[in-house]
């Protein structure tokens, strides 16, 4: 599975989902094309899914937020009789590389979280109408919804059968959402997760696995009534400008990926990439309505959509480039002006969606298993929304003075904080990146608030604790070369574990549990012989042979 994955799609090209809009509600109907797998060697039977199915779902969720502000509630259901979704395709998982399996689960988790985010913050509520069996990832998809309704016909069931059938875990948040979100009692959850057949009807309702079980004759009417009730409580506009998410302007070369505001340079020999974000070339719009009229060309949205795509390109298509250098260029005062605009007009539906999208993209950057280093150089614009990129990095390096060998008259490197850095972009554990940075230094965080709006040069930024290392021109290249060489010399597995542990100190949330605890355990279990060895459960699934387990507890 070394095929380059393209994350761009459009409802006109969907093979697996049907999107029906009937304001104020929309229907997302899963109707998987069995022959439409992303890779060869498997068929997507019983509404099973692979990365291609999830790319379409992620696209639909995003378009519903921006292109359909009039949609206030969404129903997810299936076009297949007696089958809602049978989860991730087992043949695909059995044949996939370990890297792809883990990245696939992570992307799927991020899509599920986007559904929950839409319900909580965009006031676009999701309802799962389970009109047949929902197994594994199929039930996990339903778990992302605000409400779950299942047809009560003696056949339809919900289940998480990964432990008894495949010797792995429900990889997209199932265990966590069952106990943290659905509040299923621990002993009942233990029983449920070891039942291949799952639970049906009123039994599933009593366990809190679903909200309602409805006879088939009344099922459609009850689902319709519920989504309309949820739509009635939304504050989304009845009518507004549709913000069309146009196709990204993207050029892929052998050693680079170019967008309008993002550039990625690929150094395969050195095993690193340089990702540079360019600041806006226009001034902020006069008001929120003018920003809405700009639509997908509004700089924060355009830039973040490109950054999101670039991060996914590096995750899935460049797995051996283990280090990312993060850079910016442009006018820092203009970036800060955009950030203040987003803060001041945060209640407008379009600005709200831009802010929420930015949060999701920055979280995706946080969760990417690469060593990340911010390079704050003359001409950079690490201010406000782009300063978050520097705070997402594992370390930051700032140049004091100018590069003597450059004759570009670029302004000296500065870092500028805005009010948005102190609350608008929380990470998966609910804290801002500055709160994480100064977790044991509340007084330093408070001091940082007094620096809002100031262009901090290297020494001032270091004194404020906002950068890791300040270097002059003489040491810059040598220090970065030694850093890169050292990082390449370490075990990528050890680095991934180290970085994931260090990036999210402080409290746990359901989201952080999914990406930290679940991802770590699933990553490990996916490599164990009990799952993927020659006699493992995932390897032998469907052959009629029983797996052979090493009974040693580790």
Q: How confident is the model at residue 404 (pLDDT cuts 50, 70, 90)?
A: confident
Instruction: Quickly count: other Cβ atoms within 10 Å of residue 412's Cβ.
Output: 16
Strand, helix or coil for residue 322: coil
Strand, helix or coil for residue 152: coil
pLDDT single digits (tens) 449-487: 999 999 999 999 999 999 999 999 999 999 999 999 999
Tell me what the mean pLDDT of segment 379-399 comes to. 98
Distance CA 469, CA 450 (A): 22
Strand, helix or coil for residue 103: helix
Tell me what the mean pLDDT of segment 326-354 comes to. 97
The pLDDT score that the predictor gives to residue 517 is 80
The pLDDT score that the predictor gives to residue 241 is 75
CA-wise closest residue to 311 among 7, 2, 64, 102 = 7
Tell me what the mean pLDDT of segment 35-55 comes to. 96
Q: How far is CA 187 from CA 190, 192, 365, in A?
A: 5, 9, 36
DSSP state of 248: P
User: Which tokens belong to 198?
Assistant: 């799952």
The pLDDT score that the predictor gives to residue 360 is 98
DSSP state of 514: I
Instruction: Quickly count: other Cβ atoms within 10 Å of residue 544's Cβ.
Output: 5
Q: Give the E-state strand segments of 268-339 in sequence order.
A: 272-278, 323-329
Strand, helix or coil for residue 415: strand
Tell me what the mean pLDDT of segment 38-42 comes to. 95
DSSP state of 171: T
pLDDT single digits (tens) 203-246: 999 999 999 999 999 999 999 999 999 999 999 998 767 899 99
More confident residue, 397 or 523: 397
Q: Under CATH, domain 251-496 is a member of which superfamily? A: 2-enoyl-CoA Hydratase; Chain A, domain 1 (3.90.226.10)
Tell me what the mean pLDDT of segment 295-300 comes to. 97
pLDDT single digits (tens) 493-540: 999 999 999 999 999 999 999 988 888 888 889 999 999 999 999 999
The pLDDT score that the predictor gives to residue 406 is 82
Sign (positive/negative) of CA torsion 370, 375, 379, 385? Answer: positive
Tell me what the mean pLDDT of segment 411-424 comes to. 97
The pLDDT score that the predictor gives to residue 341 is 98
Q: What are phi and psi of 470, to 5 degrees?
A: -110, 130
Please say if the pLDDT value at position 408 is more than 80: no
Are 12-232 and 251-496 in the same CATH fold?
yes
Give 393: exposed, middle or buried? Use CB within 10 Å, 0-12, 13-18, 19+: buried
CATH C-level class of 12-232: alpha beta
The pLDDT score that the predictor gives to residue 316 is 97
Q: What are phi and psi of 253, to 5 degrees?
A: -115, 180
The pLDDT score that the predictor gives to residue 3 is 85
The pLDDT score that the predictor gives to residue 516 is 81
Tell me what the mean pLDDT of segment 354-371 comes to. 97
Contact 39, 92 (CB under 8 A): yes
Distance CA 510, CA 10 (A): 31
Tell me what the mean pLDDT of segment 9-36 comes to. 97
Give 31: exposed, middle or buried? Use CB within 10 Å, 0-12, 13-18, 19+: middle
More confident residue, 407 or 373: 373
Query: Mean pLDDT of all residues in the chain?
Result: 95
CA-wise closest residue to 57 among 121, 126, 122 = 126
Tell me what the mean pLDDT of segment 438-444 comes to. 95
Strand, helix or coil for residue 346: coil
User: What is the domain partition of the chain in residue ranges?
Assistant: 12-232, 251-496
Give 231: exposed, middle or buried? Use CB within 10 Å, 0-12, 13-18, 19+: buried
The pLDDT score that the predictor gives to residue 331 is 97
Distance CA 238, CA 240 (A): 7
User: Which tokens belong to 62?
Assistant: 């995003």
Please say if the pLDDT value at position 490 is more than 70: yes
Distance CA 107, CA 312 (A): 9
Please say if the pLDDT value at position 347 is more than 60: yes
Distance CA 72, CA 111 (A): 19
Tell me what the mean pLDDT of segment 140-164 comes to. 97
Residues paired with residue 246 on neighbouring β-strands, in sequence order: none
Distance CA 192, CA 202 (A): 14
Q: How confident is the model at residue 405 (pLDDT cuts 50, 70, 90)?
A: confident
Please say if the pLDDT value at position 1 is more than 80: no
- Which of 31-35, 74-78, 83-87, 526-530 has the weakest average pLDDT? 526-530
The pLDDT score that the predictor gives to residue 242 is 85
Please say if the pLDDT value at position 25 is more than 70: yes
Tell me what the mean pLDDT of segment 49-62 comes to. 98
Percent of the chain with pLDDT over 90: 94
Percent of the chain with pLDDT over 70: 99
Please say if the pLDDT value at position 185 is more than 70: yes
The pLDDT score that the predictor gives to residue 281 is 94
């Amino acid at each position: 599975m070394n095929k380059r994955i393209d994350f761009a799609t459009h409802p006109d090209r969907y093979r697996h989902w049907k999107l029906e809009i009937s304001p104020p509600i929309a229907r997302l109907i899963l109707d998987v094309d069995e022959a439409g797998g992303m890779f060869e060697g498997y068929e997507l039977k019983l509404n099973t899914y692979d990365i291609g199915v999830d790319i379409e779902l992620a696209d639909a969720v995003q378009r519903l937020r921006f292109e359909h502000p009039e949609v206030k509630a969404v129903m997810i259901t299936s076009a297949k009789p007696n089958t809602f979704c049978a989860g991730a395709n087992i043949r695909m998982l059995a044949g996939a590389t370990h890297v792809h399996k883990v990245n696939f689960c992570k992307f799927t988790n991020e899509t599920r979280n986007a559904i929950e985010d839409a319900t909580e913050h965009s006031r676009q509520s999701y309802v799962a109408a389970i009109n047949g069996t929902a197994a594994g990832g199929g039930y996990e998809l339903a778990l992302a919804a605000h409400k779950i309704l299942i047809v009560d016909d003696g056949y339809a069931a919900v289940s998480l059968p990964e432990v008894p059938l495949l010797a792995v875990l429900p990889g997209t948040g199932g265990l966590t959402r069952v106990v943290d979100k659905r509040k299923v009692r621990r002993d009942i959850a233990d029983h449920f997760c070891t039942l291949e057949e799952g639970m049906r009807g009123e039994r599933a309702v009593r366990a809190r696995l679903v909200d309602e079980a409805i006879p088939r004759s009344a099922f459609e009417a009850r689902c319709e009534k519920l989504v309309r009730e949820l739509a009635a409580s939304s504050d989304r506009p009845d009518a507004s400008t549709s913000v069309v998410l146009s196709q990204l302007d993207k050029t892929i070369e052998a050693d680079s990926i170019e967008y309008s505001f993002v550039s990625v340079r690929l150094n395969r020999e050195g095993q690193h990439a340089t990702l540079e974000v360019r600041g806006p070339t226009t001034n902020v719009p006069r008001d929120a309505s003018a920003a809405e009229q700009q639509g997908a060309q509004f700089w924060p949205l355009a830039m973040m959509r490109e950054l999101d795509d670039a991060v996914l390109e590096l995750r899935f298509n460049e797995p051996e480039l283990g280090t990312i250098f993060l850079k910016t260029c442009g006018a820092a005062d203009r970036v800060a002006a955009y950030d203040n605009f987003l803060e001041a007009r945060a209640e407008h539906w379009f600005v709200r969606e831009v802010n929420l999208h930015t949060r999701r993209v920055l979280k995706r950057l946080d969760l990417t298993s690469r060593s990340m280093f911010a390079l704050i150089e003359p001409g950079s614009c690490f201010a406000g929304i782009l300063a978050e990129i520097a705070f997402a990095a594992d370390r930051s390096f700032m140049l004091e003075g100018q590069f003597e060998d450059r004759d570009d008259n670029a302004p000296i490197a500065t870092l500028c904080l805005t009010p948005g850095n102190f609350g608008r972009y929380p990470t998966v554990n609910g804290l801002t990146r500055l709160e994480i940075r100064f977790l044991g230094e509340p007084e330093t965080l408070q001091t940082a608030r007094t620096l809002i709006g100031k262009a901090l040069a290297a020494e001032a930024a270091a004194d404020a604790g906002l950068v890791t290392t300040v270097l002059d021109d003489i040491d810059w290249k040598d220090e970065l070369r030694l850093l890169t060489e050292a990082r390449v010399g370490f075990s990528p597995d050890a680095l991934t574990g180290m970085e994931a542990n260090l990036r999210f100190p402080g409290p746990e949330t359901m989201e952080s549990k999914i990406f930290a605890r679940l991802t770590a355990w699933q990553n490990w279990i996916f490599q164990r012989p009990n799952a993927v060895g020659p006699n493992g459960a995932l390897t032998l699934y469907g052959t009629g042979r029983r797996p052979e387990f090493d009974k040693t507890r580790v």
